């Protein structure tokens, strides 16, 4: 690992000023992904700006929004009474992620900022456009079992690894960002990028900007939610496919529906067409099947991951069944 400086400012302005001015400075909070990247020489910051003293550790509910500070630990958020009561989908998704030890260190902001787990990204002797733009993509013709089926380019077919962000996508959460020019809010569905011509960029966050919170607008989903994660082992594994479902059901009819997928694209993948189909329909297996068929219209498999084309619709149907049967 390269040598680096370490500072721990106590106010956001100072932290943001340092990372804005210094090209090789980076924020660090839980460090559960960044330290791995540094040990492998994938990122080499000259200065780490520890943000753990900053005042972003609260969980608050107002009448129209639920707010989680960026430094709330994943484990604290997952088990918090207000989260379990008002945004249970988020609690389910958080508990599906990583391991208890990692959830005890990882923060909400860090969960959003974690990098892909594509094995070629972490193997520095292999080509990887995300790690080294222009070098090629080792996964495209390599072992791509974990990779994307929804793409806008073949420059990178990596998937976003977070479970939490799939739930946040379904809940139309906003990422609250602070920079030298002030604060801004970006929908999580616009925060992450597709690879296009810049696979090295995961998100639309600008240099020096810091995530300070996540806001979830009030909703009417109640208990008809479910987070289904399909993976190779039952704990501490990334999703092959995951599905976040939130339904508003009244008298057996679906009044509102949200569906987002994980493990299939460079960002959490909202299924707007399937949602539109479900709204106004009765809760029924036939309607769930129809909605699931719409999900893979623009999907494309590669040598080792074509099974996802069958797995995705089946996972959607199962998640819809589970969500609609919650009392
Ligand atoms: Fe790199 Fe993306 Fe290709 Fe993986 S899929 S090797 S991260 S360019």
- What does the pLDDT read at residue 2? 86
The DSSP line for 6-46 is: EE--SSHHHHHHHHHH-TTEEEESS-TTHHHHHHTTS---S
Q: For the chain, list residues with pLDDT below 70.
A: 327
Could you tell me how many residues make up the chain?
327
Q: Please tell me if the CB atom of residue 259 comes closer than 6 angstroms to any atom of ligand 1.
A: no
The DSSP line for 174-202 is: EEEEEETTEEEEEEHHHHB---TT-TT--
Say how far apart CA 144 and CA 68 lie, in whole Å: 35
Which residues, other chains included, contact 301 with Cβ-Cβ below 8 Å and sequence gap of 6+? 149, 307, 308, 309
Which three-class secondary structure state does DSSP give residue 66? strand
The best mutation among 114, 131, 139, 160 to test binding of ligand 1, ranked by most ligand atoms within 8 Å of the C-beta, falls on 139
A 10 A CB-CB count for 182 gives 7
User: Do the beta carbons of residue 122 and residue 83 sit within 8 Å?
Assistant: no
Q: Please tell me if the CB atom of residue 199 comes closer than 6 angstroms to any atom of ligand 1.
A: yes
CA of 120 to the centre of ligand 1 (A): 6
- What does the pLDDT read at residue 247? 98
Using alpha carbons, list the distances in angstroms from residue 319 to 83, 242, 304: 20, 9, 24
* Ligand 1 atom nearest to 195, measured from its CA: 2
Strands (E) across the chain are located at 5-7, 25-28, 47-50, 59-61, 65-69, 174-179, 182-187, 210-217, 225-230, 241-250, 253-262, 269-270
Instruction: Return the residue whose CA atom lies nearest to atom 7 of ligand 1.
Output: 121
* Cα torsion angle, 142, 147, 150, 156, sign: negative
- What does the pLDDT read at residue 326? 82
User: Do the beta carbons of residue 160 and residue 266 sit within 8 Å?
Assistant: yes
CA of 293 to the centre of ligand 1 (A): 28
Q: Please tell me if the CB atom of residue 146 comes closer than 6 angstroms to any atom of ligand 1.
A: no
Q: Please tell me if the CB atom of residue 156 comes closer than 6 angstroms to any atom of ligand 1.
A: yes
A 10 A CB-CB count for 152 gives 13
Q: Please tell me if the CB atom of residue 302 comes closer than 6 angstroms to any atom of ligand 1.
A: no
CA of 130 to the centre of ligand 1 (A): 6
Which three-class secondary structure state does DSSP give residue 95? helix
Say how far apart CA 279 and CA 288 lie, in whole Å: 11
The first and second tokens of residue 60, run together, are 């608050």
Instruction: Return the residue whose CA atom lies nearest to atom 3 of ligand 1.
Output: 137
CA of 138 to the centre of ligand 1 (A): 6
The first and second tokens of residue 241, run together, are 């496919």
Eight-class DSSP state of 116: P
Q: Is 85 buried (19+), middle (13-18) or exposed (0-12) by CB count in 10 A? A: exposed
Which three-class secondary structure state does DSSP give residue 105? helix
The DSSP line for 257-278 is: EEEEEESSSSS-EE-HHHHHHH
- What does the pLDDT read at residue 57? 98
Which residues, other chains included, contact 125 with Cβ-Cβ below 8 Å and sequence gap of 6+? none
Which residues, other chains included, contact 318 with Cβ-Cβ below 8 Å and sequence gap of 6+? 228, 243
- What does the pLDDT read at residue 126? 97
Q: Please tell me if the CB atom of residue 283 comes closer than 6 angstroms to any atom of ligand 1.
A: no
- What does the pLDDT read at residue 327? 63
CA of 121 to the centre of ligand 1 (A): 6
Is the pTM above the cut of 0.85?
A: yes
């Amino acid at each position: 690992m390269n040598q680096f400086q370490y500072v721990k400012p106590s106010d956001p302005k100072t932290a943001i000023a340092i990372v804005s001015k210094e090209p090789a400075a980076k924020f660090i909070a839980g460090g559960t992904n960044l330290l791995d990247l540094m040990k492998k020489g994938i990122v080499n910051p000259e200065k780490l700006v520890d943000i753990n003293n900053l005042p972003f550790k609260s969980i608050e509910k107002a009448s129209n929004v639920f707010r989680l500070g960026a430094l709330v630990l994943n484990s604290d958020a997952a088990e918090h009474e207000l989260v379990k009561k008002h945004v249970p989908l988020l609690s389910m998704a958080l508990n599906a992620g990583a391991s208890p030890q990692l959830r005890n260190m990882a923060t909400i902001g860090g969960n959003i900022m974690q990098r892909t787990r594509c094995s070629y990204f972490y193997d520095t002797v292999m080509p990887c456009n995300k790690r080294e733009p222009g070098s090629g993509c080792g996964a495209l013709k390599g072992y791509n079992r974990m990779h994307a089926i929804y793409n806008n380019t073949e420059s990178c077919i990596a998937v976003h690894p977070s479970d939490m962000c799939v739930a946040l996508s379904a809940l139309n959460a906003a990422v609250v960002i602070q920079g030298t020019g002030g604060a801004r809010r970006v929908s999580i569905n616009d925060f992450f990028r597709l690879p296009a011509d810049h696979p090295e960029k995961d998100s639309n966050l600008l240099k020096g900007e810091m995530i300070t919170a996540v806001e979830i607008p009030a909703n009417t989903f109640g208990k008809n939610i479910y987070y289904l994660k399909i993976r190779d082992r039952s704990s501490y594994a990334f999703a092959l496919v995951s599905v976040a479902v939130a339904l508003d059901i009244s008298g057996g009819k679906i009044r509102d529906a949200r569906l987002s997928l994980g493990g299939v694209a460079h960002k959490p993948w909202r299924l707007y067409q399937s949602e539109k189909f479900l709204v106004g329909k009765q809760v029924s297996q036939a309607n769930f099947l129809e909605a699931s068929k719409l999900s893979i219209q623009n999907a494309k498999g590669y040598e080792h991951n074509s099974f996802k084309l069958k797995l995705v619709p089946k996972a959607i149907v199962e998640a819809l069944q589970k969500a609609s049967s919650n009392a």
